[in-house]
Amino acid sequence: MQDATTAAAVKYFFGRISRDEAEETLKAAGIREGLFLLRESIMKAGDYVLSICHQDRCVVLAYSYLQLYRVGQKRP
């Protein structure tokens, strides 16, 4: 069985950047519907934020702690 992919190993993970930096990154990529990035929260250590382009603007779709676990592993 392969190890789970870490966030840092995927192209859509941008590390610990601000909301403004995330928005600028999405704008620079063209604000296409469904374009997204995952980032680590600046405000809450251990939290992750999903920023996504929807209806010609950038929105924060989810801003909460994500429990990361391997596929097939029981949820805590």
What token pair was written down for 54? 């929807």
Sequence letter at residue 41: S
Please indicate, yes or no, whether the overall pTM of this predicted structure exceeds 0.85.
no
- Assign 47 a pLDDT band (cuts: 50, 70, 90): confident
Domain ranges in the chain are 7-64
pLDDT (average), residues 4-14: 75
Spell out the alpha helix ranges (H) of 1-76: 19-28
Say how far apart CA 49 and CA 16 lie, in whole Å: 10
Q: Any idea of the CA torsion for 39, 40, 41, 44, to the nearest 10 degrees?
A: 160
Tell the CATH topology of 7-64: SHC Adaptor Protein (3.30.505)
Return d(Cα 35, Cα 51) in angstroms, integer.
9
